[in-house]
Structure 1
Amino acid sequence: MDRFQDGSALATLLGDWTAGPGPLYRKLADALARAAEEGALRSGERLPSERELAGVLAVSRATVVGAYDELRAREVLERRQGSGTRVNGKVRSARSDGGVRGGRAGVIFQRLIDGPGPLISLACAAEQGAPEVTEALADVVREDMPDLLADPGYHPSGLPLLRAAIAEHYTRLGLPTGPEQVLVTTGAQQALVLVAEVYLRTASSVVVESPSWPACLDIFRSVNAELVPVPLDDEGIETRELAAALAAHHPSLLYVMPTYHNPTGIQMSATRRRRVAELAARHGVTVLEDNAYAGIALEEERGTAPLPLAAYLPSGAEAITVASLGKAVWGGLRIGWVRGPAEIIERCARRKALADLGSPVIDQALAARLVPRLDELAPARAAIQRERRKLLERLLREYLPDWRWRSPDGGSSLWVALPEGSADVFAQLALRHGVEVVPGSSADFTGAHDNYLRIPFTLEPAVLSEMVGRLARAWTELRRHGPRDNRPLRPII
């Protein structure tokens, strides 16, 4: 099957193709040629029609025609009678699949690899490290280093001190946990990879929220799992459709983000958590809950916050909880963990040992001093996010008054609905105005959120203001001229 007949998929692959000097048609030709050389576009693969790709990229059809003509002259593309435009069979690609550019999360990871450059990138919602990291690091150097250096340093399951601290953290939350139920990982991303390797086999299926986060979905796709989407409402995953999906597909995992869902910011209610737990237990499916944003509440908590979803499961039902210090403390620390049944943790640990023999010990010692302080660190980070959320909402209401969103319960971004048109098309115009956005199609493969954007508010206030100004100029251009695929407009070069 040709993967890129859908123009939006090809646009995601190309990323920031408009950067640099020169006419647009030549920059597009260079980006397509590079994708073919890297192996992201395969020999014989069919590309979208000129009209379709022009619409998605928000350029004139003449721009795409010029790029395709240029590539046919370079013998990168060829036109086959009755078969459209394809990558030339003579192209010698690198022996790879094109790296991270091939996945739906590719634009996010590629930005981390390339660096931000002059763009304001909204691909990654990350903040600077908490100031308490400096104090904790000084304590580690002063008090812990002799014992750490006396140790061989290989702990595939995690530094015992940190495993104990994480277990105590969950016990305080109302989910009794022992150190043997905890595996320390290099961030939550690795935690999800290890769990997927343990649970998913050929023809496995995973029920996921729709929308969800593309990097997480790509982990399940990488092991060829079938993704079964279930929509959300204001309390979390919709239980009537969830019940139908569990009954019809008998999945290996139910993957949910109950605490400040990414990208919507929804907090799953306690009532909804109980119902989800009941359904999972009834159908014998393991719950994989991802609580990366735990503690980042954007409204004052009224009463007691819901317990982790695992705490609502009846005896005998199985749950895996993944979390990290990335949002509450610092993404650069790269400390995450898996909490689950001891036998599952051991199986994950064996795979962790094969991957890296264990996460860095000094980082874990630092985390062991920070985990007991999460009850104070997360609210402090949330207070900063709360003010930036208010600023972003005020700016959007002022400069983009027809955009709509639900104010999130927590997390670090707004999930914004455009009043019309495709967010993929708008994302291309936004790039040319200096902002990189994540369109809804990356987070929801059903098409139900193709007019949505994820807009983080983790940036400094001055950058947030500049970003909204650029988005407003891009939106004005789109509203004034529309997608440039079906009318004789002057080519943009």
Structure 2
Amino acid sequence: MGARALRDLLGDWRSDAPAYEALSDRVRLLLLDGRVSSGIRLPAERELADALALSRTTVAAAYRRLRETGYASSVQGSGTTTRLPNARPAAGVPGGTLIGFTHASLPATRMLPSALDDELLADYRSHFGTLGYDGIGQLELREAIADWYGRRGLPTDPEQIVVTTGSQSAIFLAAKALVNRGDRAWAESPSYPNAYDALRDAGARLITTPVTVEDGWDLPALEAAFQRSAPAVAYTMPDFQNPTGRSMSMRDRERILEAAAAAGTVVIADEATAELDIDRGVVLPPLGALAEAHGAEVVHIGSASKQIWGGLRIGWLRATPQLARRIAAQRGSTDLAVPVFEQLVVARLLPHSAEIAEERREQLRVGRETARTMISELLPDWTFPPRLDGGLAAWVNLGAPVSSQLALAAHARGLLVAAGPRFGIDGAFERNLRIPIAADPQALRQGIEVIAELWPSVHRLARAEFESYAGTVA
């Protein structure tokens, strides 16, 4: 990793702690959040010192602290390489099991075992005489996906579908097909961090406008950004947005399509969470069902991972037949195809999406109320979203910019949690923490208990740092 790239990821990393401690703590957080991968060689000490306007001695001390705490290793002549140590067991967790709050996902639907019968195996065997890979996807699955869109009010032909290895792959392929290096790309803020990465990898320059728990999308800001910058693509999650849980109203959907059409922007609508409704009380159409009336183009992203099971790495995109063929033709540089067996499993389960949605509704309702009750009782100064009618997580306001410090302290107790800045750019959202309501209720309770135990000391330290800063300014 280059010094400039790491400098940009670090954001506003300074605190009242010694510079070497603050720098090493921020690199640790980047590792825990997944923004820096394990096994990456860090910049040379002198290069990073120049990029951060620090002394080489300070950077050397930060690297030494990373090695001492298990987050880096060094080999003479090969520099300093990142690593992730084993977390300490969480207090009160049986067997010292690690609690993971970094992924918002559900266990497999109870309908999954019923799909794994002799008929499925016979169907699977019938494919043995073929090559076993198809750049577009198995016809059985593409037909099932087309029918799924049709039931939701968006008539679709199987030739409009490209099956991918998860929704992340679909986002990447869409960005690769639609973005030229240097193009502008719009995205919500906060948002799904891997979508930011996919757009950047395609060469896009990101622009963002806010979506908040309280007010949803800032449509005037969005419209102004589209008019000013004419982004090539716009990435959005219109239903149960990650991480805020908000859904676009019908008028919101119309306004983003109108703005996109006027700017010549293709909308990438991520619907991985579209059917994770708890009690929204209204069924809203996919953006593509409204696109023609507004002269807009929409590429839909879908996934079986959130609804059926994360272990089924099946996603897809829905586009015009021409764009679908173009994407399929160029995907060879990333992967050739998706495993046949998993496609056949999803093809059998997708017609039962309404039944699976009911199962998920109850699981998410229990998770939401568990998190709401625990936070109300143990962390009364925090603000739980007043309106959370679906999705996989709660975007909680901590009332103080300490999300990164809290995530680091939690890791030392065996709890992995993604800090707020993971969902933004340039270090924003230190006042927020994403709590996965999709987690097992017992793990959810244990994780929040760990956070509640840590909160007084983390909050006290933040208050002391603020008072020290205020006194310096005064």
Alpha carbons of structure 1 residues 7 and 190: separation in structure 2 relative to 1, 3 Å: same
**Unmatched 5+ stretches in structure 2:** 14-22, 68-73, 85-94, 469-474
For residue 272 of structure 1, the aligned residue among 252, 258, 264 is: 252
Q: Which residue of 1 aligns with 2:269?
A: 289
Q: Residues of 1 paired with 2:190 and 2:63: CA distance?
A: 38
Q: What does 1:32-51 correspond to in 2, within 5 Å?
A: 38-42=40-44, 44-46=46-48
Contact 1:274–1:312 under 8 Å retained in 2: yes
| Corresponding letter in the other structure for 1:237 | W
Q: Residues of 2 paired with 1:377 and 1:239: CA distance?
A: 33
Q: What is the CA distance between 1:41 and its match in structure 2?
A: 3.3
Q: What is the CA distance between 1:449 and its match in structure 2?
A: 2.2
| 1:92 and 2:78 are equivalent in the alignment | yes
Q: What does 1:223-262 correspond to in 2, within 5 Å?
A: 223-233=202-212, 234=214, 236-262=216-242
For residue 308 of structure 1, the aligned residue among 286, 290, 295 is: 286
Q: What is the CA distance between 1:147 and its match in structure 2?
A: 2.1
Residues 414-451 of structure 1 deviation map (CA, whole Å, 9 limit, x = unaligned): 10111123211222222223322212212122555221
For residue 61 of structure 2, the aligned residue among 49, 68, 72 is: 68
Alpha carbons of structure 1 residues 93 and 343: separation in structure 2 relative to 1, 3 Å: farther
SS of residue matched to 2:334: helix
Q: Residues of 1 paired with 2:245 and 2:222: CA distance?
A: 20
**Unmatched 5+ stretches in structure 1:** 19-31, 53-63, 75-87, 102-115, 489-493
Q: Residues of 1 paired with 2:31 and 2:331: CA distance?
A: 36
Contact 2:192–2:243 under 8 Å retained in 1: yes
SS of residue matched to 2:354: helix
SS of residue matched to 2:127: helix
Alpha carbons of structure 1 residues 42 and 345: separation in structure 2 relative to 1, 3 Å: farther
Alpha carbons of structure 1 residues 220 and 13: separation in structure 2 relative to 1, 3 Å: farther
Q: Which residue of 2 aligns with 1:320?
A: 299
Q: Which residue of 1 aligns with 2:435?
A: 455
Q: Which residue of 1 aligns with 2:90?
A: none
Q: Which residue of 1 aligns with 2:28?
A: 14
Alpha carbons of structure 1 residues 357 and 482: separation in structure 2 relative to 1, 3 Å: closer
Alpha carbons of structure 1 residues 145 and 441: separation in structure 2 relative to 1, 3 Å: closer
Residues 116-159 of structure 1 deviation map (CA, whole Å, 9 limit, x = unaligned): 98432211112211121111121543541342223331211000
Farther off after superposition, 248-257 or 216-225: 216-225
Q: What is the CA distance between 1:323 and its match in structure 2?
A: 0.9
Q: Residues of 2 paired with 1:374 and 1:361: CA distance?
A: 20
Alpha carbons of structure 1 residues 478 and 71: separation in structure 2 relative to 1, 3 Å: closer
For residue 202 of structure 1, the aligned residue among 181, 200, 205 is: 181
Q: Which residue of 1 aligns with 2:89?
A: none
Alpha carbons of structure 1 residues 42 and 174: separation in structure 2 relative to 1, 3 Å: farther
Q: Which residue of 1 aligns with 2:400?
A: 420
Contact 1:235–1:267 under 8 Å retained in 2: no
SS of residue matched to 2:274: coil
SS of residue matched to 1:404: coil
Q: Residues of 2 paired with 1:69 and 1:286: CA distance?
A: 44
Contact 1:258–1:291 under 8 Å retained in 2: yes
4+ residue runs over 6 A deviation: 64-67, 483-488
Q: Which residue of 2 aligns with 1:441?
A: 421
| Corresponding letter in the other structure for 1:473 | E
Q: Residues of 2 paired with 1:209 and 1:241: CA distance?
A: 11
Q: Residues of 2 paired with 1:284 and 1:92: CA distance?
A: 48
TM-score, normalising length: structure 1: 0.79
Equivalent pairs, count:
429
Q: Which residue of 2 aligns with 1:58?
A: none
Alpha carbons of structure 1 residues 452 and 49: separation in structure 2 relative to 1, 3 Å: farther
Percent identity between the two aligned chains: 31
Q: Residues of 2 paired with 1:440 and 1:402: CA distance?
A: 17
Q: What is the CA distance between 1:483 and its match in structure 2?
A: 7.3
Alpha carbons of structure 1 residues 40 and 127: separation in structure 2 relative to 1, 3 Å: farther
Q: Residues of 2 paired with 1:321 and 1:44: CA distance?
A: 46
SS of residue matched to 1:438: coil
For residue 193 of structure 1, the aligned residue among 142, 152, 172 is: 172
Q: Residues of 2 paired with 1:209 and 1:138: CA distance?
A: 42
Residues 184-214 of structure 1 deviation map (CA, whole Å, 9 limit, x = unaligned): 0010010011111111111111111011111
| 1:214 and 2:228 are equivalent in the alignment | no
Q: Residues of 2 paired with 1:120 and 1:286: CA distance?
A: 39
Residues 340-371 of structure 1 deviation map (CA, whole Å, 9 limit, x = unaligned): 11111111112334433210011111111011
RMSD (Å) for aligned C-alpha atoms: 3.4
Q: Residues of 1 paired with 2:263 and 2:122: CA distance?
A: 50
Contact 2:301–2:318 under 8 Å retained in 1: yes
Q: Which residue of 2 aligns with 1:126?
A: 105
| Corresponding letter in the other structure for 2:61 | Y
Contact 1:210–1:232 under 8 Å retained in 2: yes
| Corresponding letter in the other structure for 1:311 | A
SS of residue matched to 2:211: strand
SS of residue matched to 1:127: coil
Contact 1:208–1:256 under 8 Å retained in 2: yes
Q: Residues of 1 paired with 2:403 and 2:77: CA distance?
A: 32
